[in-house]
Structure 1
């Protein structure tokens, strides 16, 4: 019998592997793989190390060459998925390409954190992961096998039924067969937690009473345009400009990534430049590939201008050295002086950690639920969900329009917003009962 106990040292997962015979421990080993990001000449490389701190060659090529055009967050997810795979391979003594069907099923349980009693291996205290995460990881492993030019027939087996998707940007229709090996995900009946119109009104009122223009600018950008918090924090002075479109000036916000961006400032759906030469490439300068745009009202544009004038002037005077070092941003438009718009109270660019602390306090003050231990509901993302629900409930947008407004490539990504909430279901039930009783009044008699 092999007993595997998951433990943690700092933030690193370690697996204690004990062999037992007749209830006695005959061997005791640990399995520990580690990951690291290394910056060399302004370029980040991703490493997975074995138990002797030797870089794993296959993972280096996969993460840094094969995935070179993927976003930072995607590379980090792939890197952590590989670390988990290498741990499991070491525990069972087999490579992924040689996993039997029972090995694959045991690996799924291992990733989900399910500790089933087994005949030969028993797992204890495993970290729980969501079905969505495990399905993502399974996709990583298929891609990894493709890179290695290997294949696991069971893991790669496809279903017969075709799945149809449509890219709303190009009109292209794709047909693909889903994989047989995946984890079933329960359909969430509720839309994600979102900031309602009433919540938004209360938040703005509180901010104007107890906070500053900065907080109002940030929440308005998220709620009124659907920007993600990373996209907001990554905005620079040259990203918000009035542009002449169809005979009228429109206040345009450009969403793009720069080499000077920190990870929390990266935009999710556009290219990440690999060098300063990327700024002149065709892809970087193509809409919906290298950049995206949204539009803001005159009022919000003026508020942003007021914030920039007041806060940046004060920071230059009080924290000149720190301000000049921290807020500088690469220019992609040829501006000599480009800077990140949102800064903290000490003249540095505003971090997501500082912003989350502020937003958590705001939520509590107006009585909104805040996750304490398990982060199921992203604080800032509720504004983006609120933007989506406002478009559906008040602007009556269909799924194609909403996908375009939220800058999604497929309408499948926005279908979650069209599910009725609990309050919606209650209203439907009440209106049904009222209509029914109107036809048959005697039903009210009990």
Structure 2
């Protein structure tokens, strides 16, 4: 099976179709992709769903089952297959093996498949499979809990329990080492925007000259229907980021010394190589830059770790989660709380030291009494 990118005449971005082993279009997936596009899903989301559904069809092919034959048991087997893909999911191996995919990845794939099946249930002659159970009461009581008290809600019984992980953040000194290892002003500016602004790669690559307000040190994250370099802004929501005058000075320095003249576009980040000079920078170029910086510095990090570092520093400096949510562009404040409002062993140690300093006068009184 193959996911094929296709260009549509009236759309500035590509769509995707799924081809079976005979290179024929899988019609149910084609209709679903069209539905996602019509309802405003981001191109990157559509691409991801296409590859998730490819896995689902590969599983059905191995198990020699069709959509109409699907039962709850097959979906449960699919979850197991995602964790440990084999030709036969019923094979039992007593030796423990590391799962191919983590729980979060399996849940993402499963969500795409469930959305696909729910779409078919609404539009096709397809019998729905009950994948949820009625649950009464919640461990977390929301703001309007008193209104829904006693009411049941649906819970996906196939969803895997995700292990709680602390996000990885860099130390301030490590960020300085990484910045000093950048060979161009462009690279340093790019790293600084992901660190000081908490921007995602797509948000950085989407920036245009008109999005930068140098006189009041503001950056406007502006969603657009299409970017030449394939960059997209998650959630398609506008937001404004305040940055330091030092970062804005670095931006001005980059425009003066490295940015091209008479370009046919106004993307801020461009390719600096002679062959492709002036072309808007793409995702892969940023990933290659980070790989080079990891090799130069010996510090293992990712683009998202720079964003995590920024958010963690804000929380540790007393920022309310609601402000951090707005700055990072999260859809829900609970996402910010679940991701960043955590206490590491070092945090606990630092707070205990503050506690001890606060009671020094009590210790002095105790000594005098003795």
TM over 0.5: yes
Residues 1:71 and 2:48 are matched in the alignment: no
How far apart in 2 are the matches of 1:426 and 1:126? 34
How far apart in 1 are the matches of 2:207 and 2:37? 26
Deviates more, 1:402-411 or 1:94-103: 94-103
How far apart in 1 are the matches of 2:234 and 2:51? 19
* Alignment RMSD: 3.4
Show the 5 A alignment for 1:166-245: 177-188=154-165, 190=166, 192-207=167-182, 211-242=183-214
User: Which residue does the alignment assign to 1:311?
Assistant: 258
How far apart in 1 are the matches of 2:300 and 2:267? 35
The equivalent position to 1:58 in structure 2, one of 23, 28, 32, is 28
The equivalent position to 1:99 in structure 2, one of 25, 46, 70, is 70
Report SS of the residue matched to 1:122: coil
How far apart in 1 are the matches of 2:87 and 2:267? 54
Residues 1:154 and 2:154 are matched in the alignment: no
User: Which residue does the alignment assign to 1:343?
Assistant: 271
How far apart in 2 are the matches of 1:267 and 1:362? 25
How far apart in 2 are the matches of 1:408 and 1:341? 24
Shift of 1:238: 1.5
Q: Which has the higher helix share?
A: 2
Residues 1:266 and 2:232 are matched in the alignment: yes
Q: Are the equivalent residues in 1 in contact too, given 2:194–2:204 (CA < 8 A)?
A: yes
User: Which residue does the alignment assign to 1:360?
Assistant: 291
Q: Are the equivalent residues in 2 in contact too, given 1:37–1:46 (CA < 8 A)?
A: yes
- Consecutive unaligned residues of structure 1, counting only runs of 5 or more, are 1-32, 167-174, 244-248, 271-287, 330-337, 371-378, 439-446
Q: Are the equivalent residues in 1 in contact too, given 2:3–2:18 (CA < 8 A)?
A: yes
How far apart in 2 are the matches of 1:66 and 1:219? 33
Classify 1:344/1:127 alpha carbon distance in 2 versus 1 (closer, same or farther; 3 Å): farther
Q: Once the two structures are superposed, what CA deviation does each residue of 1:155-196 show, in whole Å capped at 9, x if it has no partner? A: 244533457678xxxxxxxx95332221111112x2x22222
Residues 1:38 and 2:13 are matched in the alignment: no
How far apart in 2 are the matches of 1:420 and 1:49? 47
Report SS of the residue matched to 2:241: strand
Q: Which has the higher strand share?
A: 1
Classify 1:369/1:252 alpha carbon distance in 2 versus 1 (closer, same or farther; 3 Å): closer
User: Which residue does the alignment assign to 1:9?
Assistant: none
Report SS of the residue matched to 2:169: coil
How far apart in 2 are the matches of 1:384 and 1:79? 27
Q: Are the equivalent residues in 1 in contact too, given 2:168–2:308 (CA < 8 A)?
A: yes
Report SS of the residue matched to 2:235: coil
TM-score by length of structure 1 reads: 0.66
Aligned length: 338
User: Which residue does the alignment assign to 2:310?
Assistant: 387
Report SS of the residue matched to 1:48: strand
Q: Once the two structures are superposed, what CA deviation does each residue of 1:193-244 show, in whole Å capped at 9, x if it has no partner? A: 222222223333444xxx221122112211111111221122111221357x
Classify 1:353/1:58 alpha carbon distance in 2 versus 1 (closer, same or farther; 3 Å): same
- Consecutive unaligned residues of structure 2, counting only runs of 5 or more, are 144-151, 364-370
How far apart in 2 are the matches of 1:310 and 1:233? 19
